């Protein structure tokens, strides 16, 4: 059959379906698609893709409002499409997950009646809405990876840090209140910021409040705000809850709150509403609460220093930030990160001895202390390489006193074992049986180590200061008292 009719013109295909009908006459969806494309490529779009889609469809049909939304499965809504009244219409939106239901809702005034073309265009818009929802999800995932790659505040490759990052990414997809526990200086605020940046509230404000730094009498006004002319000379202002509306409120050191302030905080978290000082009404807020403490709240509840009802309201979804001494393998990575941050000022490197000393140190100040140590080196080190003598005495103490000389002298494992056995022997009051128990070796093995040290060391090595401390008290059984006369190395 010829593709040309009698006038030698190509035969036109039959047009079917609402898409071609909608594009054939009257307004079409091309402006909507163009706006979505601009929003997808613009690094700082005016709203999410769903908001752009709703705004464009509303302007296209000149109606009161358009809303594209997903219905949570817990509501088990049954949608009959199309559902139409004199002032609204609800259309089904296709989704990739059959467990999730999505709808397109359009509302209009009574004097604005929708004709068949408007209904057809909304039907096509509902189909497009499914693609918009899927694109929004993909964009959220892309934004998550982009934020992680750019900021990457949680440095470390140990199993503890990998688990922490995984939990942060999962919890960030919810709006639940989060409790972060950890010692001072471990990076609790960095975890809170990561939760905020990876959540749907990432574009909103992140407001941090140090509860320990706020005067108790001013805490209520600081958190909940104060009305105008509540007192003479007082100006009205919003509180931190209202400042964080649409974002995240981070309450650091929540354990330092007074009991009266804890009761008011519990009410605000439960109702998601605040009452300003001097006000008679409440204000609704859309704020996610993230709290942190350097003291276990469960212990404070037992001591009567923290309200049990507030504790159970905050706990459940919690994160624990490990101290630096429990993830020493991350110290080289953290040190490189801090050095790279100041590379514009000083390009420094570290010797192997310095890195060994950093691994041995206990780090009571955790990551914050390590960061300040790097800043000290950037400011004070003369050469371009940080050496052991550039470290503070408390940091290089044990390494410089014990391990450093052995490494420098190239001592063998047996020589080091002999030296260590003699150190423990001196600390135990030169009691062989006590030293054997402490070293978890046999009596004869200890004697062999002591004998090796006496023969191999021709020069007497000065013992570290810590060996001159309090001796370990021991009590030998009758008949087992050992001779105190041990030949010292000459």
CA dihedral 345, 350, 354, 360 (to 10 degrees): 90
CATH assignment, 151-322: 3.40.50.300
The CATH class for the domain spanning 18-143 reads: alpha beta
Domain boundaries, the chain: 18-143, 151-322, 325-395, 411-490
Six-digit token pair at 438? 């402490």
- What is residue 234's predicted lDDT score, i.e. its pLDDT? 64
Residue 176 has pLDDT above 80, yes or no: yes
Tell me what pLDDT residue 27 has.
64
CA distances from 316 to 176, 180, 189, 222, 364 (A): 10, 11, 19, 27, 28
Which 3 state secondary structure label does DSSP give 180? strand
Nearest CA to 326 out of 369, 288, 359, 372 is that of 359
Distance of CA 78 to the CA centre of its chain: 38
Give percent of the chain above pLDDT 70: 75
pLDDT digits over 202-231, tens only? 888 999 999 888 877 777 788 888 887 666
Number of H helices, E strands in the chain: 19, 15
Instruction: Select from 1.10.8.60, 1.10.1040.10, 2.40.30.260, 3.90.105.10 the CATH code of 325-395.
Output: 1.10.8.60
- Give the residue with greater pLDDT, 1 vs 318: 318
Of 238 and 405, the structure prediction assigns the larger pLDDT to 238
pLDDT at 470 (0 to 100)? 39
Confidence (pTM) = 0.57
């Amino acid at each position: 059959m010829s593709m040309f009719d009698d006038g030698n013109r190509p035969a036109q295909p039959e047009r079917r379906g609402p898409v071609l009908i909608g594009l054939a006459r009257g307004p079409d969806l091309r402006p909507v698609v163009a706006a979505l494309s601009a929003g997808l490529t613009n690094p700082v779009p005016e709203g999410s893709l769903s908001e752009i889609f709703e705004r464009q469809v509303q302007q296209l049909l000149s109606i009161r409002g358009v809303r594209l939304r997903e219905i949570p499965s817990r509501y088990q809504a049954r949608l009959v499409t199309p559902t139409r009244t004199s002032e609204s219409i609800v259309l089904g939106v296709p989704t990739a997950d059959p467990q999730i239901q999505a709808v397109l809702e359009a509302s209009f005034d009574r004097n604005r009646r929708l004709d068949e073309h408007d209904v057809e265009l909304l039907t096509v818009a509902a189909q497009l809405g499914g693609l918009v929802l899927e694109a929004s999800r993909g964009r959220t995932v892309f934004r998550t990876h982009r934020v992680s790659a750019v900021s990457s505040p949680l440095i470390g490759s140990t199993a503890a840090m990998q688990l922490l990052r995984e939990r942060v990414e999962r919890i960030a997809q919810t709006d639940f209140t989060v409790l972060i526990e950890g010692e001072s200086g471990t990076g609790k605020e960095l975890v809170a910021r990561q939760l905020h940046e990876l959540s749907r509230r990432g574009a909103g404000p992140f407001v941090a409040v140090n509860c320990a730094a706020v005067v108790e009498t001013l805490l209520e006004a600081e958190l909940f705000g104060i009305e105008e002319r509540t007192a003479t000379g007082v100006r009205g202002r919003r509180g931190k809850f209202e400042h964080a509306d649409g974002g995240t409120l981070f309450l650091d050191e929540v354990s330092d709150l007074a009991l009266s302030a804890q009761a008011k905080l519990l009410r605000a978290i439960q109702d998601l509403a605040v009452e300003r000082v001097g006000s008679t009404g409440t204000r609704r807020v859309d704020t996610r609460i993230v709290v942190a403490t350097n003291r276990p709240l469960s212990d404070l509840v037992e001591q009567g220093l923290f309200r049990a009802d507030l504790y159970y309201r905050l706990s459940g979804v919690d994160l624990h930030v490990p101290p630096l001494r429990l993830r020493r393998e991350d110290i080289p990575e953290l040190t490189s990160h801090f050095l790279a941050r100041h590379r514009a000022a000083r390009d420094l490197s570290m010797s192997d001895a310095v890195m060994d000393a950093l691994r041995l140190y206990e780090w009571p100040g955790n990551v914050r202390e390590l960061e300040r140590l790097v800043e000290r080196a950037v400011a004070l080190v003369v050469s371009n390489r940080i050496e052991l003598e550039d470290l503070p005495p408390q940091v290089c103490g044990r390494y410089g006193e014990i391990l450093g000389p052995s490494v420098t002298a190239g001592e063998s494992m047996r020589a080091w074992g002999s030296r260590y056995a003699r150190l423990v022997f001196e600390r135990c009051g030169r009691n062989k049986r006590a030293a054997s128990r402490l070293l978890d070796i046999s009596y004869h093995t200890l004697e062999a180590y002591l004998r090796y040290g006496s023969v191999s060391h021709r020069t007497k090595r000065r013992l570290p200061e810590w060996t001159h401390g309090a001796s370990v008290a021991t009590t030998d059984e009758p008949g087992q008292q050992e001779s105190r006369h041990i030949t010292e190395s000459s």
